[in-house]
Amino acid sequence: MAKNEDPLKRIIAHAKEYGFVFPSSEIYDGLSATYDYGQMGAELKNNIKQYWWTAMVKMNENIVGLDAAIFMHPTTWKASGHVDAFNDPLIDNKDSKKRYRADVLIEDYIAKIEGKIAKDVAKGLKRFGDAFNEEEFRATNPNVLRNVDKINAINDRFKKALNDDDLADVKSLIEDLGIACPVSGSKNWTDVRQFNLMFSTELGSTADGASTVYLRPETAQGIFVNFLNVQKTGRMKIPFGIAQIGKAFRNEIIARQFIFRMREFEQMEMQFFVKPGTELEWYEHWKKFRINWHKALNLGDDNYRFHDHLKMAHYANAAADIEFKFPMGFKELEGVHSRTDFDLKAHEEFSGKKLQYFDAAENTSYVPYVVETSIGLDRMFLAVFSSSLKEEELKDGSTRLVLTLPPSLSPVKAAILPLTKKDGLPEKAREIFANLKYDFNIQYDEKDSIGKRYRRQDAIGTPFSITVDHQSLEDNTVTIRDRDTMEQERVEIDRLYSIIEERVSYRTVLKKLES
Ligand code: ATP
């Protein structure tokens, strides 16, 4: 990669070139922040879903699945708070005509001050060497203290302005801090307005009888409104969970950074219903389970960190993000939230129906508390894809682009490559293909030199390349090349199934969750 090249750009280019992700409706120049998954992307995405579904639903006997509709009764979103409060404060720069989230402008400003603090700390370390005590330095250095006070003052004022719905003061804060538009450099701002992130449309064929419905901004509410249906028909006993994978839609003000922030995306969510008072134990349980699920993929333990929420959503009594080191830095990949009984209580109130659980052992009824795990499938795709793409220098001085995907997630598990297009080798290769195709996604490729074909498979992350040569016709053996070590081994054709199965099965990865 050329120096200073944006690493995300290379990832976007690779994703497009090899059929993972395309800009949506590209022949019409695309649609902003909307993407299509290509022939390889669809496979990778399905495999991530399967890894999640198996770990959450199949491996936990008290978790079941659900597939709710995207459209829901509009009152759902009144009850959940989304109609009134699912807003972002937006502001436009009058000169560049660019639109920003006011909170992001302020957060970026704070990040700059944090950068100054980090610089002071680094200077201290340089000066005092091993004798440097960072904690003491932060507690006493006048520059650091002044900057910390500054950050606290900004945070306090911003929080108060949002709580009081005082958008004029949010604008004044931006002006007082002297924040300029990154594009035009001007401080010529419009007023701050609240912008609801839900997409709406009309249900019904005539304007008269039509009612406004929303495209769901999260999949969770489909689970809450079905809580009793599932509990009763599945005879579920608390604690139990309902899991769902599905599309969600948010009219994000600034959607960028590829598939990290889109307007149409997919979520994998699980709501776990527990007895009130036990929620914080379950919250810890699910934090641990989810971080283990991530780490079992071997993308590098240092790529993850927890970020505990200091400012909680109104419905939560504990919340943490699992952050991943994306090409643009550590960012939220998944949220684990203890949502109390906020949602079920709100739906009871708005629907007039009881949403309670009868605890036979204690002979009482109660509204369960909920611990939620919520991960964006597209963000998970980006995490896996970006951390797997590597440019490797080889012994002979050449380089290769390789996608070291976890084999269980690889779109293609093995490629069958006849060494030449004649002498009966293609027929033999097709025979092997026909045998393996029921169990694995296999590619047959006879075009170009064998070296080029290996590179193509490396670039899409195929764990095995199987070459059929003249010896194969004589003794029923083939060579099998390992993507990561590039080593080749001659094996009997009859052994191919078990060799591939052992490497690509989810079992090896999932077993780690139980240890
Ligand atoms: P952010 O702060 O990044 O906007 P959020 O806190 O609003 O995210 P949640 O409402 O907790 O996100 O949604 C759960 C998960 O859904 C997130 O952790 C993320 O992986 C995913 N997600 C949320 N918004 C988007 C989006 N616009 N595009 C892609 N994935 C998203």
Ligand 1 contact, 82 CB (< 6 A): no
| Ligand 1 centroid, distance to 238 Cα (angstroms) | 28
Q: How many CA atoms lie within 13 A of 100 on its CB side?
A: 28
Q: Which of these, 348, 390, 382, 391, lies nearest to 366 by C-alpha position?
A: 348
Mutate to test the pocket of ligand 1, among 37, 48, 266, 332 (most ligand atoms within 8 A of CB): 332
**Which band of pLDDT confidence, cut at 50, 70 and 90, is reported for residue 50?**
very high
Q: State the Cα–Cα distance between residues 228 and 485, nearest whole angstrom.
A: 52
**Which band of pLDDT confidence, cut at 50, 70 and 90, is reported for residue 472?**
very high
What is the per-residue burial (b if ≥16 Cβ within 10 Å, else e) of 147-181? Answer: bbebeeebeebbeebbeeeebebbbebbeebebeb
| Ligand 1 centroid, distance to 237 Cα (angstroms) | 30
CA distances from 495 to 435, 438, 479, 491, 501 (A): 12, 16, 12, 7, 10
Give residue 209's pLDDT. 60
Average pLDDT over residues 391-409: 94
Return the ligand 1 atom nearest residue 255 CA. 27
Tokens of 372: 């939620």
Confirm if 404 and 411 have CB atoms less than 8 A apart.
no
**Which band of pLDDT confidence, cut at 50, 70 and 90, is reported for residue 493?**
very high
Mutate to test the pocket of ligand 1, among 374, 377, 381, 384 (most ligand atoms within 8 A of CB): 374
Return the ligand 1 atom nearest residue 321 CA. 18
Ligand 1 contact, 383 CB (< 6 A): no
Assign 3-class secondary structure to 419-484: CCCCCCHHHHHHHHHHHHCCCCCEEECCCCCHHHHHHHHHHHCCCEEEEECHHHHHHCEEEEEECC
Q: State the Cα–Cα distance between residues 380 and 268, nearest whole angstrom.
A: 10
What pTM did the predictor assign?
Answer: 0.89
| Residue of minimum CA distance from atom 19 in ligand 1 | 376
Q: State the Cα–Cα distance between residues 182 and 112, nearest whole angstrom.
A: 13
Return the ligand 1 atom nearest residue 334 CA. 18
Ligand 1 contact, 339 CB (< 6 A): no
| Residue of minimum CA distance from atom 25 in ligand 1 | 261
Q: Which of these, 463, 448, 487, lies nearest to 415 by C-alpha position?
A: 463
| Residue of minimum CA distance from atom 18 in ligand 1 | 334
**What H or E segment, with its residue span, contains residue 138?**
helix 134-140
Q: Which of these, 244, 383, 260, lies nearest to 324 by C-alpha position?
A: 383
Ligand 1 contact, 335 CB (< 6 A): yes
Confirm if 46 and 67 have CB atoms less than 8 A apart.
no
Instruction: Tell me the pLDDT tens digit for each residue of 204-242.
Output: 766 666 688 999 999 999 999 999 999 999 999 999 999
Give residue 495's pLDDT. 97
| Gyration radius from the chain CA atoms | 27
Give residue 311's pLDDT. 63
Confirm if 91 and 105 have CB atoms less than 8 A apart.
yes
SS3 198: coil
| Residue of minimum CA distance from atom 31 in ligand 1 | 376
Mutate to test the pocket of ligand 1, among 196, 260, 267 (most ligand atoms within 8 A of CB): 267
**Which band of pLDDT confidence, cut at 50, 70 and 90, is reported for residue 448?**
very high
Least confident range of 2-6, 102-106, 201-205, 502-506: 2-6
Ligand 1 contact, 375 CB (< 6 A): yes
Ligand 1 contact, 101 CB (< 6 A): no
| Ligand 1 centroid, distance to 157 Cα (angstroms) | 26
Give residue 364's pLDDT. 95
Ligand 1 contact, 343 CB (< 6 A): no
Ligand 1 contact, 250 CB (< 6 A): yes
E runs forming strands in 239-379:
240-249, 264-274, 304-308, 318-326, 329-340, 357-359, 364-366, 369-376
Q: State the Cα–Cα distance between residues 475 and 392, nearest whole angstrom.
A: 35
